[in-house]
Amino acid sequence: MKIPALLFLTASFVHLIIPPAFSQQITKPEDTEVWDPEPPEVAPGDYTTASAPSDAIILFDGSGLSAWQKPQFKAESATVEIISYTVKGIEPDYEHKPADWDVIDGEMVIKQLTGAIETKQAFGDMQLHIEWMTPYAEGKKGQGYSNSGIFLMNFYEIQVLNSYENRTYSNGQAGSIYKQHIPLVNACRKPGDWQVYDIIFKAPVFDEEGSLKSPARITAFHNGVLIHNNVKLKGPTVYIGTPKYVAHPAKLPLRLQDHGDPVRYRNIWVREL
Ligand code: MG
């Protein structure tokens, strides 16, 4: 079904365009791709999993998707709609539906082209442990090779992608804070191998007028290797244009992106900070 897939992917990109009111300048997607420097490759050690500590909130242990649901927006039409709700106070006209991705052998598998899923619980500052696997896919390349993403607070994406012998723009490869920060190194394992992100996220803070008091910050490890060291985020993830903060609640769901590829997740837990 090539045409629906194309339409979906187009829509999934369009949703990341911030409307003029929230963007300093609308440009082409290529304008915000940064190809240099290319992060040096680092072969990670054997760290592939970590059982949850006693104070963690378990988001996925292989037994089902009870902690997850479909977001209150259509498919992948996320950022613009969420900003509309947040800024204009418009209530979404969608009911939450149960998460419909597959669980196979204790692994969460993206049901391609059905849209994202998000946690029922909202989070602000957190320590997140999440394991993911990009399947081998003959002939795929660049951003099209097993793309997904972890959206902290629904707005801030850490890229999930196969970046093992698969060059793309550095600020869009695995471990990038999409189009904002290049990972310090490329610690990717090959397709089919399980990988780990450990992320420490500090939520942005807004004053009562909605002005930014302090930006979001991220420290992250990929397979146990530091890839971001307390970096400041510029605003919500956008595909085209310049990120700009919009005031939002202190806690929002964690969202996993469906970019049309059967990426897998397992062993997801959070410690609230
Ligand atoms: Mg992505």
Tens-digit pLDDT profile for residues 251-264: 999 999 999 999 99
Q: Residue range 206-232: average pLDDT?
A: 97
pLDDT at 93: 61
| pLDDT averaged over every residue in the chain | 87
Residue pair 107/265 in contact by the 8 Å Cβ criterion: yes
Contact 200, 219 (CB under 8 A): yes
Q: Where are the alpha helices (DSSP H) in 73-172?
A: 78-88
Q: Percent of the chain at pLDDT above 90?
A: 73
Task: Using the predicted structure, report yes or no on whether residue 89 has a pLDDT greater than 90.
Answer: no
Q: Which fold has domain 7-272?
A: Jelly Rolls (2.60.120)
Question: What is the CA(13)–ligand 1 centre distance, in A?
Answer: 10
Does the pLDDT of residue 266 top 80, yes or no?
yes
Sequence spans of domains, the chain: 7-272
- The answer on pLDDT for 111 being more than 50 is yes
**Which one has a higher pLDDT value, 105 or 93?**
105
Rounded distance from Cα 17 to ligand 1 centre (Å): 14
Looking at residue 84, what is its pLDDT? 64
Among residues of the chain, what percentage have pLDDT more than 70? 82
Q: Provide the CB-side half-sphere exposure for 24 (13 A, CA).
A: 6
Residue 179 Cα, ligand 1 centroid: separation in angstroms?
11
Q: What is the pLDDT of residues 137-169, one digit of tens each?
A: 999 999 999 999 999 998 999 999 999 999 999
Q: Which residue has the higher pLDDT, 82 or 203?
A: 203
- Give me the pLDDT at residue 41, please: 98
pLDDT, tens digit (0-9, with 9 covering 90-100), for 2-38: 333 333 333 333 334 444 444 455 579 999 999 999 9
First to last CA, the chain: 44
Mean pLDDT for 108-121 is 94
Residue 192 pLDDT > 80, yes or no?
yes
Return d(Cα 162, Cα 245) in angstroms, integer.
Answer: 29
**Burial level of 159, CB count in 10 A (0-12/13-18/19+)?**
buried
Cα-to-centroid distance, 260 and ligand 1 (Å)? 10
- Give Cα 51 to chain centroid, integer Å: 22
Taking the centre of ligand 1 as the mean of its atom positions, its distance from the CA of residue 83, in whole angstroms, is 19
* Separation of CA 148 and ligand 1 centre (Å): 4
Find the 38 Cα to ligand 1 centroid distance in Å: 18
Residue 78 has pLDDT above 80, yes or no: no
pLDDT top residue among 64 and 154: 64
CA 272 – ligand 1 centroid, Å: 24
What is the CA(176)–ligand 1 centre distance, in A? 10
CA of 207 to the centre of ligand 1 (A): 30
- pLDDT at residue number 71: 84
